[in-house]
A = this chain, B = another copy of it.
Amino acid sequence: MNGCFVELAIDIVGGKWKGIILYHLLDGPKRFNQLRRLIPTVTQRMLTLQLRELEEDGVISRIQYPEIPPHVEYQYTEFGKTLQPIIQHMQEWGKLYTEEYFADNQS
């Protein structure tokens, strides 16, 4: 539909939190509260919801260690790893953009 495939990637990566979550998973698995600390502005509720959606899309997997207290880790699936270059690409563009924005005062 609409003659392009761009929307597929955007559906997965888009929204307010998914890109940020995926960015923080780039350097390895993370626990739930670890992600909360890395993304201070996300609420518990939204983090849960977004992680579930990423799981349903097959991008990340949830690994639950049967311990008390609970221990859960989130990490990329093999399929999800195919998205990593895009995340990194956007990260690098964002860095360049902010630098240019504040340096050249481009608006």
Report which A residues bind B (CB closer than 8 A).
1-10, 13-16, 19-20, 22-24, 38-42, 58, 79, 82-83, 85-87, 89-98, 106-107
Contacts and interface: CB of A to CB of B under 8 A. Distances in A.
A95 B39 contact: no
Contacts of A23: 4, 6
Contact of A2 (B9, B40, B79): B40
A78 to B, nearest CB: 10
A71 to B, nearest CB: 23
6 contacts: A5-B90, A5-B95, A7-B20, A14-B15, A58-B106, A89-B89
Interface centre among A16, A19, A86 (most CB of B within 10 A): A19
